[in-house]
Protein backbone atom coordinates (compact mmCIF):
# COMPACT_ATOMS: atom_id res chain seq x y z
CA UNK A 1 0.00 0.00 0.00
CA UNK A 2 1.19 3.52 -0.68
CA UNK A 3 0.47 6.82 0.97
CA UNK A 4 -1.10 9.63 -1.04
CA UNK A 5 0.43 12.50 0.91
CA UNK A 6 3.74 13.28 2.60
CA UNK A 7 4.95 10.96 5.33
CA UNK A 8 6.77 12.26 8.42
CA UNK A 9 10.53 12.04 8.10
CA UNK A 10 13.41 12.09 10.55
CA UNK A 11 17.01 13.20 10.14
CA UNK A 12 20.18 12.30 11.98
CA UNK A 13 23.43 14.02 11.08
CA UNK A 14 23.83 15.95 7.83
CA UNK A 15 22.63 13.42 5.28
CA UNK A 16 20.45 10.56 6.49
CA UNK A 17 16.67 10.82 6.44
CA UNK A 18 14.17 8.13 7.47
CA UNK A 19 10.44 7.86 6.88
CA UNK A 20 8.57 7.41 10.14
CA UNK A 21 5.76 4.87 10.62
CA UNK A 22 2.35 6.51 10.10
CA UNK A 23 1.27 6.02 13.73
CA UNK A 24 4.60 6.67 15.45
CA UNK A 25 7.41 4.30 16.29
CA UNK A 26 6.68 1.29 18.52
CA UNK A 27 8.79 -1.44 16.90
CA UNK A 28 11.77 -2.11 14.65
CA UNK A 29 12.53 -4.68 11.97
CA UNK A 30 16.18 -4.93 10.98
CA UNK A 31 17.72 -6.43 7.87
CA UNK A 32 20.76 -8.63 8.47
CA UNK A 33 23.13 -8.87 5.48
CA UNK A 34 25.06 -5.63 4.87
CA UNK A 35 22.98 -3.92 7.55
CA UNK A 36 24.17 -5.84 10.61
CA UNK A 37 26.80 -8.15 9.10
CA UNK A 38 29.65 -7.58 6.64
CA UNK A 39 28.19 -10.06 4.18
CA UNK A 40 29.15 -8.25 0.98
CA UNK A 41 32.87 -8.15 1.71
CA UNK A 42 32.83 -11.74 2.96
CA UNK A 43 31.00 -12.87 -0.20
CA UNK A 44 33.48 -11.10 -2.45
CA UNK A 45 36.47 -12.72 -0.79
CA UNK A 46 34.83 -16.14 -0.55
CA UNK A 47 33.77 -16.15 -4.20
CA UNK A 48 37.27 -15.21 -5.34
CA UNK A 49 38.89 -17.91 -3.21
CA UNK A 50 36.37 -20.54 -4.37
CA UNK A 51 36.99 -19.65 -8.00
CA UNK A 52 40.76 -19.95 -7.61
CA UNK A 53 40.32 -23.33 -5.93
CA UNK A 54 38.00 -24.79 -8.56
CA UNK A 55 39.21 -23.01 -11.71
CA UNK A 56 42.84 -22.03 -11.08
CA UNK A 57 43.34 -21.25 -14.78
CA UNK A 58 40.44 -18.79 -14.96
CA UNK A 59 41.14 -15.48 -16.69
CA UNK A 60 43.24 -13.43 -14.23
CA UNK A 61 41.73 -10.28 -15.68
CA UNK A 62 38.31 -11.30 -14.41
CA UNK A 63 39.25 -12.66 -11.02
CA UNK A 64 39.12 -9.23 -9.44
CA UNK A 65 35.44 -8.94 -10.39
CA UNK A 66 34.33 -12.47 -9.48
CA UNK A 67 32.99 -11.59 -6.04
CA UNK A 68 31.03 -8.59 -7.26
CA UNK A 69 29.68 -10.54 -10.23
CA UNK A 70 28.48 -13.38 -8.02
CA UNK A 71 26.83 -11.13 -5.48
CA UNK A 72 25.22 -8.88 -8.10
CA UNK A 73 23.61 -11.99 -9.60
CA UNK A 74 22.81 -10.56 -13.06
CA UNK A 75 20.68 -13.63 -13.81
CA UNK A 76 18.28 -12.66 -11.04
CA UNK A 77 18.32 -16.12 -9.47
CA UNK A 78 18.31 -14.95 -5.85
CA UNK A 79 15.30 -12.71 -6.38
CA UNK A 80 13.52 -15.58 -8.14
CA UNK A 81 14.29 -17.68 -5.05
CA UNK A 82 12.77 -15.03 -2.77
CA UNK A 83 9.63 -15.08 -4.91
CA UNK A 84 9.37 -18.82 -4.31
CA UNK A 85 10.24 -19.78 -7.92
CA UNK A 86 13.37 -21.82 -7.04
CA UNK A 87 14.46 -23.87 -4.09
CA UNK A 88 17.73 -23.03 -2.36
CA UNK A 89 19.94 -25.53 -4.15
CA UNK A 90 18.58 -24.67 -7.60
CA UNK A 91 19.21 -20.99 -6.96
CA UNK A 92 22.76 -21.57 -5.79
CA UNK A 93 23.57 -23.95 -8.66
CA UNK A 94 22.32 -21.50 -11.26
CA UNK A 95 24.32 -18.63 -9.83
CA UNK A 96 27.54 -20.64 -9.98
CA UNK A 97 26.73 -21.88 -13.48
CA UNK A 98 26.23 -18.27 -14.61
CA UNK A 99 29.56 -17.35 -13.08
CA UNK A 100 31.30 -20.20 -14.92
CA UNK A 101 29.76 -19.07 -18.22
CA UNK A 102 31.02 -15.54 -17.65
CA UNK A 103 34.49 -16.87 -16.78
CA UNK A 104 34.42 -19.14 -19.88
CA UNK A 105 35.43 -22.22 -17.87
CA UNK A 106 34.12 -25.77 -17.91
CA UNK A 107 31.16 -26.39 -15.65
CA UNK A 108 29.75 -29.68 -14.41
CA UNK A 109 27.74 -30.46 -11.28
CA UNK A 110 30.98 -31.48 -9.56
CA UNK A 111 32.46 -28.03 -10.19
CA UNK A 112 29.41 -26.37 -8.71
CA UNK A 113 29.43 -28.53 -5.60
CA UNK A 114 33.13 -27.91 -4.97
CA UNK A 115 32.74 -24.18 -5.57
CA UNK A 116 29.86 -23.93 -3.11
CA UNK A 117 31.76 -25.87 -0.45
CA UNK A 118 34.74 -23.52 -0.73
CA UNK A 119 32.47 -20.50 -0.82
CA UNK A 120 30.51 -21.53 2.28
CA UNK A 121 33.69 -22.01 4.27
CA UNK A 122 35.12 -18.68 3.14
CA UNK A 123 31.89 -16.82 3.84
CA UNK A 124 31.67 -18.03 7.42
CA UNK A 125 35.38 -17.42 8.01
CA UNK A 126 35.11 -13.85 6.73
CA UNK A 127 31.81 -12.51 8.02
CA UNK A 128 31.77 -10.13 10.99
CA UNK A 129 29.32 -7.79 12.69
CA UNK A 130 29.55 -4.05 12.02
CA UNK A 131 30.77 -2.13 15.04
CA UNK A 132 27.68 0.10 15.15
CA UNK A 133 25.20 -2.78 15.51
CA UNK A 134 25.32 -3.34 19.27
CA UNK A 135 24.85 0.38 20.03
CA UNK A 136 21.83 0.41 17.70
CA UNK A 137 20.26 -2.61 19.40
CA UNK A 138 20.92 -1.29 22.88
CA UNK A 139 19.41 2.09 21.99
CA UNK A 140 16.21 0.44 20.79
CA UNK A 141 15.93 -1.82 23.82
CA UNK A 142 16.63 1.02 26.24
CA UNK A 143 13.79 2.96 24.61
CA UNK A 144 11.47 -0.02 25.10
CA UNK A 145 11.25 -0.72 21.36
CA UNK A 146 11.01 -4.42 20.46
CA UNK A 147 13.19 -5.64 17.60
CA UNK A 148 12.86 -8.46 15.07
CA UNK A 149 15.28 -9.48 12.32
CA UNK A 150 14.03 -10.00 8.77
CA UNK A 151 16.11 -11.41 5.92
CA UNK A 152 15.61 -12.98 2.50
CA UNK A 153 18.20 -15.66 3.26
CA UNK A 154 17.29 -19.13 4.52
CA UNK A 155 17.00 -19.94 8.19
CA UNK A 156 19.97 -22.33 8.43
CA UNK A 157 22.58 -20.07 6.85
CA UNK A 158 21.20 -17.08 8.77
CA UNK A 159 21.53 -18.82 12.12
CA UNK A 160 25.04 -19.93 11.14
CA UNK A 161 26.00 -16.33 10.35
CA UNK A 162 24.60 -15.01 13.62
CA UNK A 163 26.36 -17.76 15.54
CA UNK A 164 29.64 -17.09 13.75
CA UNK A 165 29.37 -13.40 14.61
CA UNK A 166 28.45 -14.22 18.23
CA UNK A 167 25.14 -12.45 18.05
CA UNK A 168 22.99 -15.52 18.56
CA UNK A 169 23.15 -15.67 22.36
CA UNK A 170 22.39 -11.97 22.77
CA UNK A 171 19.43 -12.17 20.41
CA UNK A 172 18.10 -15.27 22.12
CA UNK A 173 18.45 -13.65 25.54
CA UNK A 174 16.40 -10.71 24.28
CA UNK A 175 13.85 -13.01 22.57
CA UNK A 176 14.43 -11.34 19.19
CA UNK A 177 12.29 -13.06 16.53
CA UNK A 178 13.83 -14.06 13.21
CA UNK A 179 11.96 -13.96 9.89
CA UNK A 180 13.68 -15.65 6.95
CA UNK A 181 12.65 -16.69 3.47
CA UNK A 182 11.76 -20.05 4.98
CA UNK A 183 9.18 -18.52 7.34
CA UNK A 184 6.54 -17.96 4.66
CA UNK A 185 8.20 -19.47 1.59
CA UNK A 186 8.71 -16.02 0.07
CA UNK A 187 10.78 -12.97 0.92
CA UNK A 188 10.85 -9.22 0.59
CA UNK A 189 9.43 -7.16 -1.06
CA UNK A 190 6.18 -9.07 -0.40
CA UNK A 191 4.13 -7.01 2.12
CA UNK A 192 3.08 -10.10 4.07
CA UNK A 193 6.71 -10.74 5.02
CA UNK A 194 6.97 -7.35 6.72
CA UNK A 195 3.57 -7.84 8.33
CA UNK A 196 4.65 -11.23 9.69
CA UNK A 197 7.64 -9.59 11.36
CA UNK A 198 5.32 -7.04 12.94
CA UNK A 199 3.08 -9.80 14.25
CA UNK A 200 6.03 -11.50 15.93
CA UNK A 201 6.73 -8.37 17.98
CA UNK A 202 3.01 -7.76 18.55
CA UNK A 203 2.96 -4.43 16.76
CA UNK A 204 0.72 -2.99 14.05
CA UNK A 205 2.66 -2.28 10.82
CA UNK A 206 1.71 1.39 11.10
CA UNK A 207 3.92 1.60 14.21
CA UNK A 208 6.98 -0.27 12.90
CA UNK A 209 9.98 0.86 10.83
CA UNK A 210 12.26 -1.35 8.75
CA UNK A 211 15.97 -0.60 8.44
CA UNK A 212 17.91 -2.16 5.57
CA UNK A 213 20.56 -1.67 2.91
CA UNK A 214 18.83 -2.77 -0.31
CA UNK A 215 16.74 0.23 -1.26
CA UNK A 216 13.92 -1.28 -3.30
CA UNK A 217 13.24 -4.43 -1.28
CA UNK A 218 14.04 -2.94 2.13
CA UNK A 219 12.91 0.61 3.04
CA UNK A 220 10.88 1.31 -0.12
CA UNK A 221 9.04 -2.02 0.09
CA UNK A 222 8.46 -1.47 3.81
CA UNK A 223 6.98 1.96 3.20
CA UNK A 224 4.74 0.51 0.49
CA UNK A 225 3.61 -2.13 3.00
CA UNK A 226 2.51 0.57 5.46
CA UNK A 227 5.63 0.69 7.68
CA UNK A 228 8.30 3.33 8.11
CA UNK A 229 11.72 2.85 6.59
CA UNK A 230 15.38 3.81 6.75
CA UNK A 231 18.10 3.12 4.19
CA UNK A 232 21.62 2.16 5.30
CA UNK A 233 24.27 2.63 2.61
CA UNK A 234 27.62 1.64 4.02
CA UNK A 235 30.72 3.70 3.18
CA UNK A 236 32.33 2.48 -0.04
CA UNK A 237 29.19 0.83 -1.42
CA UNK A 238 28.30 1.98 -4.92
CA UNK A 239 24.96 3.64 -5.54
CA UNK A 240 23.28 4.69 -8.79
CA UNK A 241 21.62 8.00 -9.48
CA UNK A 242 18.42 6.06 -10.11
CA UNK A 243 18.55 4.74 -6.55
CA UNK A 244 19.16 8.21 -5.15
CA UNK A 245 16.22 9.52 -7.18
CA UNK A 246 13.98 6.69 -5.96
CA UNK A 247 15.02 7.36 -2.38
CA UNK A 248 14.32 11.06 -2.73
CA UNK A 249 10.87 10.33 -4.17
CA UNK A 250 10.02 8.38 -1.00
CA UNK A 251 11.46 10.92 1.43
CA UNK A 252 14.58 8.84 2.12
CA UNK A 253 18.25 9.71 2.18
CA UNK A 254 20.92 7.14 3.08
CA UNK A 255 22.54 6.70 6.46
CA UNK A 256 26.06 5.26 6.54
CA UNK A 257 25.58 3.62 9.95
CA UNK A 258 22.75 1.57 11.38
CA UNK A 259 22.99 3.24 14.79
CA UNK A 260 22.39 6.62 13.15
CA UNK A 261 19.34 5.29 11.31
CA UNK A 262 17.92 3.86 14.53
CA UNK A 263 18.70 7.06 16.42
CA UNK A 264 16.82 9.14 13.86
CA UNK A 265 13.76 6.92 14.15
CA UNK A 266 13.89 6.85 17.94
CA UNK A 267 14.36 10.56 18.43
CA UNK A 268 11.69 11.65 15.99
CA UNK A 269 9.27 8.74 16.11
CA UNK A 270 8.89 7.80 19.76
CA UNK A 271 6.02 9.25 21.82
CA UNK A 272 6.87 12.72 23.05
CA UNK A 273 9.18 13.54 20.16
CA UNK A 274 8.34 15.72 17.20
CA UNK A 275 8.87 15.02 13.52
CA UNK A 276 9.16 16.99 10.32
CA UNK A 277 7.28 16.44 7.08
CA UNK A 278 8.85 16.51 3.66
CA UNK A 279 6.86 16.88 0.46
CA UNK A 280 6.90 13.98 -1.98
**236-246 pLDDT per residue, tens:** 788 889 999 99
What's the whole-number average pLDDT of the chain?
Answer: 90
- Count of CB atoms within 10 A of residue 92's CB? 20
d(CA 191, CA 195): 6
pTM for the whole structure: 0.89
- Report long-range pairs for 239-245 (Cβ below 8 Å, ≥24 apart): 243/215
3-state class percentages of the chain: helix first, strand second, coil last, to nearest 5: 50, 15, 35
Are 9 and 278 contacting, i.e. CB atoms less than 8 angstroms apart?
yes
Please tell me the total number of residues recorded for the chain in this structure: 280
- Count of CB atoms within 10 A of residue 116's CB? 17
DSSP state of 270: S
Smallest CA-to-CA distance from 84 within 210, 219, 188, 218 is with 188
Smallest CA-to-CA distance from 7 within 230, 213, 201, 198 is with 230
Give 218-230 pLDDT, tens digit per residue: 999 999 999 999 9
The pLDDT, as a whole number, for residue 8 is 55
d(CA 34, CA 237): 10
d(CA 51, CA 119): 9
d(CA 18, CA 15): 10
DSSP state of 20: P
Smallest CA-to-CA distance from 214 within 229, 198, 199, 194 is with 229
Give 180-219 pLDDT, tens digit per residue: 999 999 999 999 999 999 999 999 999 999 999 999 999 9
Give 54-113 pLDDT, tens digit per residue: 999 999 999 999 999 999 999 999 999 999 998 999 999 999 999 999 999 999 999 999
The pLDDT, as a whole number, for residue 115 is 97
Q: Is the pLDDT of residue 273 over 50?
A: no
- The region that residue 226 occupies, defined by phi over 0 for left and psi between -120 and 50 for alpha, beta otherwise, is left
Domain formed by 8-37+129-277, architecture: 3-Layer(aba) Sandwich (3.40)
Are 21 and 206 contacting, i.e. CB atoms less than 8 angstroms apart?
yes
Q: Where are the domains of the chain?
A: 8-37+129-277, 39-126
Q: E-assigned strands of the chain?
A: 8-12, 16-19, 27-30, 147-150, 178-179, 208-212, 228-231, 276-277
Amino acid sequence: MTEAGPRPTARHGRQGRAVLPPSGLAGLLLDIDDTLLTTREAMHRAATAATLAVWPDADPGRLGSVGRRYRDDPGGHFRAYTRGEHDLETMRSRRVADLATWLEVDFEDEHGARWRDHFDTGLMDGITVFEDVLPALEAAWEAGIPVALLTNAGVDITRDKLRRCRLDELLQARSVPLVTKDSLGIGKPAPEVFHHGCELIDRDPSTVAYVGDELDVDPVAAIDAGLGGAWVLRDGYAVSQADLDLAESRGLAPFTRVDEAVAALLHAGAPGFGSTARAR
